[in-house]
Copies of this chain bind each other. A is one copy, B any other.
Amino acid sequence: MEFRIVKKDKQTRARAAVLKTDHGDIKTPVFMPVGTQAAVKAISPQDLNDIKAQIILGNTYHLYLRPGSDIVRQAGGIQKFNAWRKPVLTDSGGFQIFSLNDLNKITKDGFEFRSHLDGSKHFFSPEKVIAIQRDLGSDIMMVLDECVSYPSEFNYVRNSVKLTVEWARRSMKAYKQIPPKHDFSQAAFVIVQGGVYEDLRRECALQLIDLNFPGYAIGGLSVGEPKEAMFEMTELVAELLPHNKPRYLMGVGKPEDLLDGIERGVDMFDCIMPTRNGRNGQAFTSTGVVNIKNLVHREAFAPLDPECGCYTCRTFSRAYLRHLYIAKELLILKLLSLHNLNFYLRLMEAARKAILEERFYEFKSEFLTKYHNKE
């Protein structure tokens, strides 16, 4: 993997870069649609290509349990399995293990957990998570970490950071020792934790930087903390991280959050919001959020967003989309997910263009002025 910065903004810490993988180049800032089970919900690879997605996510925990990483390996890796021939990043699944079952246990060695599908017992160590991702063949593998909940006591987080750093060391060793199973290279990204504690974030970041990973994620945010805390931590960590490595803010967020992240030097984002909110009838548009079920759209024969060029907006009226939603027609799940993903992807594209043209800050405020003038 190669990471090349194309342009740095002068007014902010925003940057435009290119991340090269064996499955293609990724222009950053980039938003990565979430495809937990090797599929973006209600969206096909054809749809993803139509909206020019560059990279999608998968989840190690979910794919390990179902269909099983052996199946994905036999298929030739996740890109062949799900017919998405471009880059894939797999999250480790540590976050899912914790959020899906209170009884799961963390030890010095890893996670003891029970499958949310059949209750079977499993164990994830840092090494095992790398080995599974070698089977999956993701272009970017995330190391195992502990994502602490918010709020958490300082002492708990301090110990957790120690564990995360120790696991990162073991992950780097495993990354070097466990060879690829497929004929392309895979990068490993490490995750900076530390809750909302500046000292712990700094300590964690500095220790992980010493390990010299190909990429760095900022994790454990967007878990309920105040937005100011999220961006303070992001800013603090992003400033410490090496300038020549990609930075990934995990699980963030709303369109405005992405711009705030970019401004602080973040290159990569993922979030379930465009697809999940789409399935719930919520659309992101250039003039703010639209709830398609509202009665006001009953006789609205204009597109969802006249400025949007996605299939949904080129083809259907709000009145029809509302009808589909109210009538519980499956097609609406795709149409709003597709529109929202396109909105996120075009926002990142526009942000990149603005960075290249040295007007990111201006772009951001123009976008927000219009966006907050919502229905």
A330 touches B329 (CB 8 A): no
- One digit per residue, 1 when the CB lies within 8 angstroms of any chain B CB and 0 when it does not, for chain A 289-331 equals 0000000001101000000000100011101101110110111
Instruction: Tell me the chain A residues, 334-353 only, with Cβ under 8 Å from chain B.
Output: 334-335
Selected contact of A67 from candidates B38, B82, B298, CB within 8 Å: B298
B320 touches A37 (CB 8 A): no
Selected contact of A311 from candidates B41, B46, B81, CB within 8 Å: B46
A324 touches B74 (CB 8 A): no
CB distance from A151 to the nearest CB of B (A): 34
> Which residue of B is nearest A331, CB measured?
B39
CB distance from A314 to the nearest CB of B (A): 9
CB distance from A215 to the nearest CB of B (A): 28
Interface assignment of A1: CB less than 8 Å from any CB of chain B: no
Rounded to whole angstroms, the CA-CA distance of A71 and B301 in the bound complex is 10
Complex contacts, A320 vs chain B, CB 8 Å: 38, 75, 81-83
- One digit per residue, 1 when the CB lies within 8 angstroms of any chain B CB and 0 when it does not, for chain A 104-137 equals 0000000000000000000000000000000000
A74 touches B299 (CB 8 A): yes
Selected contact of A331 from candidates B42, B67, B315, CB within 8 Å: B42
Interface assignment of A44: CB less than 8 Å from any CB of chain B: yes
Complex contacts, A322 vs chain B, CB 8 Å: 67
On whether A75 and B301 interact (CB within 8 A), knowing A320-B81, A323-B66, A323-B67, the answer reads yes
Complex contacts, A42 vs chain B, CB 8 Å: 330-331, 334
Complex contacts, A326 vs chain B, CB 8 Å: 66-67
A71 touches B330 (CB 8 A): no
On whether A329 and B75 interact (CB within 8 A), knowing A67-B298, A315-B83, A320-B82, the answer reads no
B74 touches A316 (CB 8 A): no
Interface assignment of A45: CB less than 8 Å from any CB of chain B: yes
Complex contacts, A317 vs chain B, CB 8 Å: 75, 81
Interface assignment of A43: CB less than 8 Å from any CB of chain B: yes
A323 touches B37 (CB 8 A): yes
CB distance from A312 to the nearest CB of B (A): 9
Rounded to whole angstroms, the CA-CA distance of A71 and B300 in the bound complex is 10
Between A and B, 26 residue pairs with Cβ closer than 8 Å are A37-B323, A37-B324, A37-B327, A39-B324, A39-B329, A40-B331, A41-B331, A42-B331, A44-B311, A44-B335, A46-B311, A46-B315, A66-B326, A67-B323, A67-B326, A74-B299, A74-B301, A75-B301, A75-B317, A75-B320, A81-B317, A81-B320, A81-B323, A82-B316, A83-B316, A330-B333
A-B pairs with lowest CB-CB distance, top 5: A42-B330, A67-B323, A39-B329, A37-B327, A83-B315
- 19 additional A-B residue pairs with CB within 8 Å, beyond A75-B319, A83-B316: A37-B327, A38-B320, A39-B327, A39-B329, A39-B331, A42-B330, A42-B331, A42-B334, A45-B315, A66-B323, A67-B319, A67-B327, A71-B319, A71-B323, A74-B301, A81-B320, A82-B320, A83-B320, A334-B334
